[in-house]
């Protein structure tokens, strides 16, 4: 069955009695590796098709390690990450800014996996 698209934006989604998986689209605008507070929680029900349309003013990679997903971003080139919310729980999105041009080759990557998450994906059981 083809899911109905629901444009979520920054608004809370009224799942109500959502028996069938839905497809949601979230617009995320990264500025210097940070999302506006209203874009930091992405909610879904298990089985939903989640699509993120992301822009960033910095080059880097967005990671959702729990789902083994990553997305490379370049300034001025929005990109999309689409996946099925197959696992329930709360999962961290992380941002890894690209190395600066003056970075020393072979230097250890910044230890930012323990920094505050960029955003959270919250997947609840249906």
Contact in structure between 62 and 81 (CB atoms under 8 Å): yes
Nearest CA to 65 out of 43, 33, 45, 87 is that of 87
Q: Which of residues 27-46 bind Cu ion (CB under 5 A)?
A: none
How many other C-beta atoms lie within 10 A of the C-beta of residue 46? 15
Nearer to Cu ion, 48 or 94 (CB): 94
Among 94, 95, 118, 121, binds Cu ion (CB under 5 A): 94
Cα separation, 115 vs 112, whole angstroms: 5
Residue placing its CB nearer to Cu ion in the complex, 90 or 126: 90
The residue among 45 and 54 lying less far from Cu ion, judged by its C-beta, is: 54
Choose one: 2-10, 23-31, 40-48, 92-100; the region binding Cu ion (CB under 5 A): 92-100
Q: What's 39's DSSP letter?
A: G
- Stretch of 5-13, 16-24, 58-66, 80-88 lying at the interface with Cu ion (CB under 5 A): 58-66
| Beta carbons of 96 and 115 less than 8 angstroms apart | no
DSSP secondary structure letter of residue 114? G
Interface residue with Cu ion, options 63, 85, 91, 119 (CB under 5 A): 63
| Residues near Cu ion, by CB under 5 A | 63, 94
């Amino acid at each position: 069955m083809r899911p109905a698209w629901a444009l979520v934006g920054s608004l809370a989604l009224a799942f109500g009695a959502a028996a069938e998986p839905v497809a949601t689209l979230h617009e995320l605008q990264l500025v210097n590796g940070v999302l506006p507070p209203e874009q930091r929680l992405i909610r879904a029900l298990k089985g939903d098709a989640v699509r993120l349309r992301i822009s960033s003013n910095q080059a880097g990679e967005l990671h959702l390690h729990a789902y083994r997903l990553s997305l490379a971003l370049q300034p001025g080139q929005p990109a999309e990450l689409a996946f099925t919310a197959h696992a329930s729980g709360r999962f961290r999105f992380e941002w890894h800014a690209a190395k600066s041009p003056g970075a020393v080759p072979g230097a250890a990557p910044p230890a930012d996996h323990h920094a505050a998450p960029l955003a959270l994906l919250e997947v609840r059981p249906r």
